[in-house]
Structure 1
Amino acid sequence: MTLLKVERLTKSFGGVVAASDVSLTVRRGEMVALIGPNGAGKSTVFNMIGGQLQPDSGHVLLDDAPITQATASERFRKGIGRTFQVAQAFLSMTVLENVQMALLSRYGETRGLWSPVRPCHREEALGLLTQVGMEGVADRPSAELAYGDVKRMELAIALAGDPKLILMDEPTAGMAPAERSALMELTDSLARSRHMGVLFTEHDMDVVFGHADRVLVLLRGQIIATGTPDEIRRDPRVREAYLGDTHGLAPLTARPA
C-alpha cells in the first residue's frame, strides 16, 4: 500500500534547477534510499517532502491526502518524522526530556508549558527510549552522549510523533561502521514492526545496498533510475554517473529478509 506519493516536484533557486519533475513512492514497512552525488538535489527533495521548502510545482500526498501546502510542524502531526545529518537535540536537557519535548509538540501542549518538563508523558517517553535501546541513559544529559547514541536519541524523538513515515538525512554520517549497521538494523526492525515507511539519503553504499528495499538515484535534480539494490548496482547509467564500475561489479551482499 502506497504511503507517500510525490508527484513531479520541481524547485529552482534563481536560474539553478535543484529538482525537476521528481516523482517517487514509499510503501508502509518499506526502506527506500535516495542516493546521488553531492549537488544532485537530495536535500532539496527531502526538504520539499518534509515541509522545510515549498515546491515551485508538484504535489506531496500522505495516505492519499494532499500535504503540499502543510508546514513542517503540521506534517509532523500528520505523521512525518525526520532526523537530520547533523543531529538536532536540546543539549541542555536530559535524554528523556528531549523525547518528552517531542511528545509535548505532538500533543500541542508546548504553548502552555510553564512547569518543568519532567512529569510530562514520562512513561511514554521511556517506552520510546526502550524501543531504541536508550532506557539505561534516560536521565543522562544529552550533551554527554557519544555521537551514535545521539543518533539513536534523535530516532526516538522522531518516533514521538507516532510517524507513518520517517525521513532520515544521512543517518549514519560520522558514525563508526559497527554503529552504522546497528542503527540501520534498528531502523529496519522499527519500520517493519510499526508498519511505517522510511525514506533515507546516504553516501555509504554498504548501508544503502545492505538495508534498502528500493533505491532511487538522483542526478542533477532528476531521478535517473529506480529499482532494487541489485538492479541499481548493475544499471549502466548509474555506474557511469555515480557508482563507478568497481561498485557496479562487486558481489552484492544479500539483504536480510
Structure 2
Amino acid sequence: MTLLSVQDLSKSFGGVAAARDVSFMLERGEMLAIIGPNGAGKSTVFNMVGGQLRPDHGAVLLDGQNITLASPQKRFRLGVGRTFQVAQTFLSMSVAENVQMALVSHNRKSTALWAPARMRYHEEALALLEQVGMAESADHPCSALAYGDVKRVELAIALAGRPKLLLMDEPTAGMATRERAALMDLTAEIADAKGIGVLFTEHDMDVVFGHAERVIVLVRGRIIATGSPEEIRQIEEVRRAYLGDDHALEKPKGVSPAEGVSPA
C-alpha cells in the first residue's frame, strides 16, 4: 500500500490560488522533493500535508487513513515527523533532554509530573543520537552546538516519534555545503533502513538532484512535472520556469520528456 497519497489538494488566500489540484504519491523508503520558484505553492502544499493548513478541498491519506482534518499533534502520533527550515530545539536543554522530551510526548507521559522528564527514556534518546552521529554531545546544551549539529539533533527529535513519513522543510538551509550533503546522506540511509518515506522542499539543486529519487515541480500552485532528477533536468518547461540554464542541461539524444515523466 502507498504510504502517502495526496489527492487534488487546493488552497486559496483572498482569491489567490496558492495550490490547485495537487496530487502525488509517496512510497515507503522513498525520497521525494518538491521544488519550484518563490510563490510556487511549495510551503502551502507542504503545510497541508503536515496539518498546519487545512485545504479548501482534496484529501491527504497516510497508509490509507484519511488525515486531512487531523491536527499536527495527531499526525505526529500517527507517524508523521517533521523538521523545519529554522531548526526547532530547546537551546537551554541538553542534546539528550531535547530528544527525551520528544520521546515523552510520543509516549504520552507528559502528564506524569511527579517523575522528572530527564529521568525518562534516556537510553532511547542516546540510541537515537547515535543514529545521527551526536551521541558524544548528549550532555552538551543545544546552545553550544554548531548549526549543522543542531540540524542533526532536530532529525533525532523527529525520529523519536517513530515516523512512517518524515517532512523536511528546507532541511539544509543555513548549512555549509559539506554539511548539507552529509545531512541528506544520513537521512537517505535512515529512510532506506527503516522504510521511512521522506518528503522535502529544498532550494539547493545540488541537494535535490543528489538525493531525491523523484522530483515534483510546482509553478503557480500547479504541478507541471514529476519524474526522476535526470528526467526533470531535460524538460524544457522546467528549465524555463525554474532551472533557467538551457545550455547546461542539454537533453540527451533519444530521451523524450514523456518517458517516465508525468507533466501536469
User: Normalising by the residue count of structure 1, what TM-score does the alignment of the two structures yield?
Assistant: 0.95
Which position in structure 2 is the counterpart of 1:254?
none
Cα distance, 1:109 vs structure 2: 1.4
- Correspondences of 1:130-209 after superposition (within 5 Å): 130-209=130-209
Q: Identify if the C-alpha distance between structure 1 residues 250 and 181 changes in structure 2 by more than 3 Å, giving closer, same or farther.
A: farther
Which runs of 4 or more aligned residues in structure 1 lie more than 6 Å from their structure 2 counterparts after TM superposition? none
- Matched position secondary structure for 2:249: helix
Match of 1:80 in 2: 80
Offset, 1:110? 1.5
Does the residue aligned with 1:184 lie in a helix, a strand or coil? helix
Indicate conservation of the 8 Å contact 2:40/2:220, yes or no. Answer: yes
1:249 lines up with 2:250 in the alignment: yes
In the alignment, the residues of structure 1 paired with residue 15 and residue 111 of structure 2 have an alpha-carbon distance, to the nearest angstrom, of: 40
Identity between Structure 1 and Structure 2 (%): 67
Equivalent residue, structure 2, for 1:43: 43
Alignment partners' CA distance in 2, 1:219 and 1:50: 20
Contact 1:233 1:247 in 2 (8 A): no
Task: Indicate the residue corresponding to 2:69 in structure 1.
Answer: 69
How far off is 1:111 after superposition?
2.8
Deviations along 1:125-146, one digit per CA (max 9) or x if unpaired, are 1110000000000010001110
Matches of 1:48 and 1:117, distance apart in 2: 32
C-alpha contact (below 8 Å) 1:11/1:55 kept by paired residues: yes
Deviation for aligned residue 1:117: 1.9
In the alignment, the residues of structure 1 paired with residue 114 and residue 205 of structure 2 have an alpha-carbon distance, to the nearest angstrom, of 46
**Unmatched tracts of structure 1, length 5 or more:** 252-257
1:255 equivalent in structure 2: none
Structure 2 unmatched ranges of 5 or more: 253-264
Distance 1:242 1:171 in 2: 20
Aligned counterpart, 1:236:
236
Equivalents in 2 of 1:206, 1:115: separation in Å? 46
Distance (whole Å) between structure 2 residues aligned to residue 207 and residue 235 of structure 1: 19
Q: Is the 8 A contact 2:234 2:251 kept in 1?
A: no
SS in 2 for 1:118: helix
- SS of 2:117's equivalent in the other structure is coil
